[in-house]
Structures are given as C-alpha cells and as structure tokens.
Structure 1
Amino acid sequence: MKIAIGSDHAGFELKEKIKAFLEDFGHNVLDLGCYSKESVDYPEFGVKVAQAVLNKEAERGILICGTGLGMSMVANRFRGIRAALCHELFTTKMARLHNDANVLVLGGRVIGEALALEMVKVFIDTPFGGGRHERRIKLIDELTKE
C-alpha cells in the first residue's frame, strides 16, 4: 500500500519511526515532510498529505503533530478526507471499519511509540465495513457539499 505521511517538528521523531515500521512491512511511504526537528508550521504538511490522498498519489495518509488537533483540523477541511484523530486501538479500528477514515492523525506528544505503531498497523489492516456505514459516508459528502 502507498501511504503519504507528514508531520511538524513535534511529530518528526514519531514520523520517522512510523515510516521505518511501514517500510519494514513492505509499504511504499511518501514522506511529505517535515524533515527535521526545526520549528515549522503544521498546516503546510497537513495540506500536502490531504492532497496526496485526494489526488490518489497515496491510498491513505498519516499525520503527526504535537497533539494531533491541528493536523486533524487542517486535513478535515478537504472534502473527501476523513481524518481520524485517535489515541488508542479501539477508535483506530472503528475509524476504518465504520468511517472509512483515509487519514490517521496522531499526537506525537500524547501517545508513545509502541502504541502508535500498533495503531498504524490497525489503521492499515482494518478494512472498511461498508453496508449501512457506506450510506452514512455518502450522506456526509452530500450534506457538506458547500
């Protein structure tokens, strides 16, 4: 699977660990920055990942900032992006299963590395459940056209 990943400076170290983890499992990772712990503005990287997913340059995206709040706000401004800010495994699984989340958002200062890697695995491995949930995804798109 091709996965776009991006972070700000607060999420840089976790991004690098997630990137290596994904590559170890044979995924193709599109790293859209940032590339160091030097202070940057998170919206730039949230936009890049959202656009990569929308433009089908990647099947899914992962965003990391300090809390995950800023990145989730940026990504969810894009119609067709369903970014899920998750802090544990259950919501990560349900974000995929029920909401067809196409971007996982993590707080690099909120969760530890081991949990983050487990969450990434769940996000990648969990299929969308479809059925009544698909109807609801379409309803979101219809109700938010403008």
Structure 2
Amino acid sequence: MSIHSRNFPAGLGWAAVAILVWSGALVMLRLGVTTSLNAYDLTMLRFAVAGLLLAPIALRRGRGTDRLGVMGLGAMVVCFGAPYVLLVALAMKTAAAAAGALNPGAMAIVSVLLGRAILGDRIGGARLIGLALTTLGSC
C-alpha cells in the first residue's frame, strides 16, 4: 500500500472533522445571535472553549511563536482572531443565509491570493479553476 493510499482514510476523516467544526461554528453563531447572547458573548465562548481544549497542547509544545514570529502571530490574531469572529457574529444578525455560503468561499479565495502575494505560490491549473468556480458561486 502506498503512502498516499494509507493517508487517504485519515485525510477523509480530518476533512469530515473540519466540515463539522466549520458548519457547527456557523450554526452556533446564528443560534447565538438570535437568542440573548451578543457578539461579544459568542466570541468569548469560542475562544474560552478553544483555549481550554488546546491549553495542554500549548503547554506541552509551546505557543509556536518561534516558528511564526511576531508578525505572523499578529497576522493570525488580526485576521482570524477576535476581530474576525466579532465581524462574523455581527454579520449573522443581518445576513445569516449569506454567511454560511460566503464565509468559507471568501476564505478560500483570500487564502489562495495571500499565498500568491506572501509566499509566491503559483496560481494555475486546478487552483485557477477553483478560484473561478468559487468566485462564480459567490455571485
């Protein structure tokens, strides 16, 4: 059995976990903004639960600042930390149906474009088709 075929079931499993986490996060954000919880409550809950779950790993392996650097850590906090979650939670109050479709698509497009701008990744072939289809689907 090749390395690729041995990793395929694990890859499918982790893909399913990612789908469950993302879809669950959007559903919980929407549920939260339609109840008495506000965007700040939801942001606190999201990071408090994640912090508690990941604290043992961070304590054992470190925070990762040695690999990310200060700028990388700052970019992660600004682009996907509390400001991002607050923005999505506030947007859910007015455009919940659109958030479920647009948020993951926009993240995919931006990640490919940032990979090109920052890392010099080549955008060609399947990536270009994926970008076009995702952009078309967002319209």
TM-score, structure 1 as length reference: 0.30
Decide which structure has the larger Cα Rg and report it.
2
Select the structure that is richer in helix. 2
Select the structure that is richer in strand. 1
